[in-house]
Structure 1
Amino acid sequence: MGDDVRHYGVLQNDKYGRYLVANKDLVSGELIFTDTPFAVGPKPGKYTPPLCLSCYCPVENTLCSTCGWPVCSEECGKSATHAGECEVFSAAKVKFQTVEDWTVSAPQLDCITPLRILLAKEKDPDRWQRELEVMETHTKERKERPTWGADQVNIADFLVDYCKLSDRFDKELVQKVCGILEVNSVEIPSRGGFSIRALVQVRAAVPIKQGETLYLCYTHSLSPTIVRRDFLLESKFFECDCARCADPTELGTHLSTLKCSKCDNGVILATNPLGNYLTLSMS
C-alpha cells in the first residue's frame, strides 16, 4: 500500500483473518490510504466476454499479430500491459481459440490475471512476500467446490503444461494465486477504456472512531440481508455480522422487511437476521 497516508492498522483473528482498523478518529470523506494494484486484468468467470488485453474494451475477431490473443488494435498489441502474456503465449505457440459469439463469456481468458500476478511475482518478489503471500486463500474450502476443478483445468494445467511454464511455476502456486484473487481481489466495472495506473483511494464514508473496524462492501448494497450474507459466505468464506446485517430493519432501510397482507401498518421483521434460517415476527 502507498505510504503517503496510512490511517489504519492491521489486525487478525480466526473469523476474518487479516483486517483493518482505524488508527485515528476519521471524519467522513477523509483519506485512509491509497494503493496501486499488484496486477490488473480481466475478471475470471462467467461474466467476462472476449476483450482487449490492454485497454479492456470489447473486441470481435481482432487478435494480436504476435501472439494471437484478443486486442483491439496494433497499438494495444504492443502495449506494456499485454507484453507479459504475449511473450508467454508466443513462446509456447498457444493461440486464442476463436469463438462463435464474442458477446458471451470466454473461459480462455480466466488464465490472464493469474498469469499476470505470477509474472509480477517474478519482477517484485519483495512485494509479493510482503503483501500477497500472507493473504488468505481458503484452499481447503475451495477444493470442495466445482470452481476448483475449473481453475485446475482452465488455469493451472493450461499455464503449467500447455504454456510450458513448469520450470517457473508449479500448479500449487497457480491455485494459490487463484485463491488470492477469489478472496481478496477488487473488481472495478468498466465497459470503456481503463487507466493502467488503477490507483485506488480509500476514504471514510462515515465518521469512524479510532480502533473501529474498516468495512468494504463486497455485495450489492440494495440486496437484502439474507442474499448478501449468502453471497459473502459463498464467495468470501465468512458470515458477516456487521451492523446492517445484525439489524432486523437493516439500519432503517427495511430492504428485508415484508408488508403484512392483513393490515395497513403492520410489517414482518426477522427476529434473528444472523441465524442460519429465517424467523419472522409481526410489528
Structure 2
Amino acid sequence: MSGEDICAVCQQPAQQKCSACKLVFYCSREHQKCHWKEHASHCRPFKLDRDDVLGRHYIATRKIEKGEAILRERTPLVAGPPVDTPPVCLGCYVVLRGNNAKACDKCGWPLCNDCQEHGGECQFTLRFRDSKVSITEFGCPHPTYRCINIIRALALRETDPKAYQRFLELQGHSPTDDDSLEGNRGEEHRALASFVKRFFKIDHIKPEEIIKIAGILQINGHEVPTTEPPHIAVYDAASYFEHSCHANSSKSFTEKDGLIIRAAVTINKGDHISMCYTDPLWGVTNRRHYLLQTKFFHCQCTRCSDPTEFGTMYNALKCSRSNCGGTVLPSTFIVEDNERFPNYSCNKCDETMTWQAVDVKLEQIGIELASMKKNDVNECIKFLNKYSKVLHENHFYMVDVKLAMSQMIGQEAGGLAAVGDEMLNEKISLCKKLDELFRILMPAENRLRGLVLFEVHAAIAEFGRRQGPEQLRGMLMLSQKALREAYELLRYEPDILPEGKIARIAQKNLLEMDTIIKTLCQNAATPM
C-alpha cells in the first residue's frame, strides 16, 4: 500500500477511493459520505499542471470516457455583451432599437421593456459617476458599451473579492509585457483604460489593473449562444483548458449561463485536455492568425503542425500541371513572424507555387465565395464545378459550400419529398463525406456533427420510402443509426438553442422510427 492510500477523514490505511476522480481514498463509505461536502468542489478527473510554453493546463488523472462530463461551472465570473456591440439590454442582451428601450431608474443604462434588473455596472455607476448614463443612439456599435465587462469585473472588487482575485489570476496578456506580440491591441486596451477612468471617477484604480482586466476578458472570453445576439462569459476553472484545433473536449451551455465540458473522445490518463478557441472550419492560416491576434499565441497544435491536416488535404490545391493529379501544399504552415513562407510543392511532380501566388488565388476565390447568392443550391453547384479543378475536394472553401448545400437541399417548399432522386442522393453523399471529414478534423464539434447527421438521417429515410418494403426497412435502420448518433451529440444542448430543439425532435423521431421498423419486421415475418 502506498503512502497516499490513507483515508482523507481519519488518516488510516484505506483501499476505497472516489470513483469520480480516483484521487482521494477512504476507509469506509461512511467517511466518504461525510467528506463529500468538502471534496465535491475538488472532485475532478484532471489536475492543473504548468510548463513554460503552455502555461497552466489540465492533464487527465485517469481515463475519461467519451461523453463523460469533465467540468461543470454553474455561473461565470464575468458575463456581458461583446466589445463591439450596438446598445443591448444589459439584463437579457436583446438588441435595443429605441422604441423598446428604457433607461434604468437608478443608473441610466438602457434595458428592454421586460427587464428590471441588470449587472454590477448599476451600483458601480451610482458610486463612481456624478450623473446617469445616457444612451440615445441605437442600431450601430456604441463605444460606451466597450467598458461594460470591465466594469462588471471591477464591481467584483467590492461585491465578491474572492471571485475578483480568481479572475485576476487568469491569464491576461498585458501590453506592457510584449508590445510586439500584441500590436494595436495594446493601444486599444490602454485607450480603453483611459476611457474607463474618465467616464468613472475611479482614481483609486490604476490603469494597469484595467488593462489587465481587458486582457483577461480578451483571452478567456467564451461566446455564449444562448442569447440573441450571443454574449461573452469568462469562467474560472474552464479558463485553464489549453487550446487545440483538434480538441478532445467539447463545451455546451445551460440556459442560465452554466458551462459543461465533456470528453469528445476517450481521453487517457496523462493526456492533455483541450478545447478549441477558434472556428475549426477555417483554414490553418486563418486559424493561426485569429489566435495570434485575439489570444496572443502562435498555434502549434497537432492539426496545425501537419500541413495535410491528418491526410484530409484541408488546405491543399490541385496541381496545375495537366494530367498530374497531385496536390499542392507547403512543407509547413508553422511560420513565425520574420520567417520566409515556404513554397507550395506538388506531391507527385516538381511543380511549385509561391506562397504569395497561392495567397492571391485564395483571396480571389474567397471574394467570389462571399459574394455568392445566398440560399441557392444552383450557385453552390456552379462554385463546386468551377473550382473542382483548382482546389482539393476537402479544401476549406469547398467544405464551406458543401456544408451549406447539404443543409439547403430539402429546405424548399415541399421539403425532401419534393427533391428529385439525383439531388436527394447528392445530399446523402455530401452529408456522409462531411461527417467522415469532421470525425477526423474536429471530433469535438458536437453541434456541427450532430446537425450533419440529423440532415443525413432525414435524407436516407426519404430515399428508403421511395424503394420497396425490403429496401425501406434497411434504409430506415441506417437512418435510425445516424439519428441516434445525432441525438447523442446534441442531447446536452439547451432547448433555447436550435441544436437543443433538434435534439428533442431527434428523440421523438427515434421512438417513432423504432415503432415503424418493428412493424415492418413483423409484416415481413408474417406469411402471406
Regarding TM over 0.5, the answer is: yes
SS at match of 1:228: helix
2:121 to 71, 77, 85: 85
Which consecutive unaligned segments of at least 5 residues does structure 2 have?
1-39, 232-253, 348-528
1:33 to 63, 71, 89: 71
1:212 to 260, 271, 282: 271
Which residue is equivalent to 1:172? Answer: 208
1:241 to 279, 283, 300: 300
**Are residues 1:281 and 2:345 paired?**
yes
Which residue is equivalent to 1:42? Answer: 81
Q: Structure 1 residues 226 and 153, CA, compared in 2 at 3 Å: closer, same or farther?
A: closer
Q: Structure 1 residues 260 and 71, CA, compared in 2 at 3 Å: closer, same or farther?
A: same
Instruction: Give the conservation status (yes or no) of the 8 Å contact 1:5–1:33.
Output: no
Which residue is equivalent to 1:70? Answer: 110
Identity score, percent: 31
Which residue is equivalent to 1:272? Answer: 332
CA distance, structure 2, for counterparts of residue 10 and residue 33 of structure 1: 13
Which residue identity lines up with residue 60 of structure 1 in the other structure? R
2:88 to 51, 65, 90: 51
Higher relative contact order (CA 8 A, sep 6+): 1
Once the two structures are superposed, the pairs formed by residues 123-138 of structure 1 within 5 Å of their partners are: 123-129=159-165, 131-138=166-173
What TM-score do the two structures reach when normalised by structure 1? 0.86
CA distance, structure 2, for counterparts of residue 28 and residue 65 of structure 1: 46
Which residue is equivalent to 2:31? Answer: none
Give the stretch that moved more between structures: 86-95 or 236-245: 86-95
Instruction: Give the conservation status (yes or no) of the 8 Å contact 2:89–2:112.
Output: yes
SS at match of 1:187: strand
The runs of at least 4 aligned residues of structure 1 exceeding 4 Å deviation read: 192-196
SS at match of 1:19: strand
Return the offset for 1:38.
Answer: 0.5
CA distance, structure 1, for counterparts of residue 108 and residue 198 of structure 2: 19
CA distance, structure 1, for counterparts of residue 316 and residue 189 of structure 2: 39
Give the stretch that moved more between structures: 9-18 or 136-145: 136-145
Return the offset for 1:255.
Answer: 1.9
CA distance, structure 2, for counterparts of residue 98 and residue 121 of structure 1: 30
CA distance, structure 2, for counterparts of residue 248 and residue 149 of structure 1: 34
Which residue is equivalent to 1:11? Answer: 49
Instruction: Give the conservation status (yes or no) of the 8 Å contact 1:55–1:193.
Output: no
1:120 to 151, 156, 163: 156
Q: Structure 1 residues 142 and 16, CA, compared in 2 at 3 Å: closer, same or farther?
A: farther
Instruction: Give the conservation status (yes or no) of the 8 Å contact 1:57–1:193.
Output: no
Which residue identity lines up with residue 98 of structure 1 in the other structure? T
CA distance, structure 1, for counterparts of residue 288 and residue 136 of structure 2: 38
Greater helix content: 2
CA distance, structure 1, for counterparts of residue 319 and residue 141 of structure 2: 42
Q: Structure 1 residues 180 and 142, CA, compared in 2 at 3 Å: closer, same or farther?
A: farther
Return the offset for 1:224.
Answer: 0.9
Aligned residues: 271
Which residue identity lines up with residue 334 of structure 2 in the other structure? L
Which residue identity lines up with residue 58 of structure 1 in the other structure? V
Which consecutive unaligned segments of at least 5 residues does structure 1 have?
none
Which residue is equivalent to 2:287? Answer: 228
Cα deviation per residue 1:205-256 (whole Å; 9 max; x = unaligned)?
1121112111111111111111111211222121112111111221233221
SS at match of 1:179: helix
CA distance, structure 1, for counterparts of residue 167 and residue 179 of structure 2: 18
Which residue identity lines up with residue 19 of structure 1 in the other structure? H
Which residue is equivalent to 1:197? Answer: 256
CA distance, structure 2, for counterparts of residue 231 and residue 59 of structure 1: 29
SS at match of 2:213: helix
Q: Structure 1 residues 90 and 126, CA, compared in 2 at 3 Å: closer, same or farther?
A: closer
Which residue identity lines up with residue 268 of structure 1 in the other structure? V
Q: Structure 1 residues 103 and 202, CA, compared in 2 at 3 Å: closer, same or farther?
A: same
Which residue is equivalent to 2:58? Answer: 20
What TM-score do the two structures reach when normalised by structure 2? 0.48
SS at match of 1:201: strand
Q: Structure 1 residues 233 and 153, CA, compared in 2 at 3 Å: closer, same or farther?
A: closer
CA distance, structure 1, for counterparts of residue 72 and residue 262 of structure 2: 9
Which structure: larger Rg?
2
Return the offset for 1:159.
Answer: 2.9
Which residue is equivalent to 1:161? Answer: 198
Instruction: Give the conservation status (yes or no) of the 8 Å contact 1:241–1:274.
Output: yes
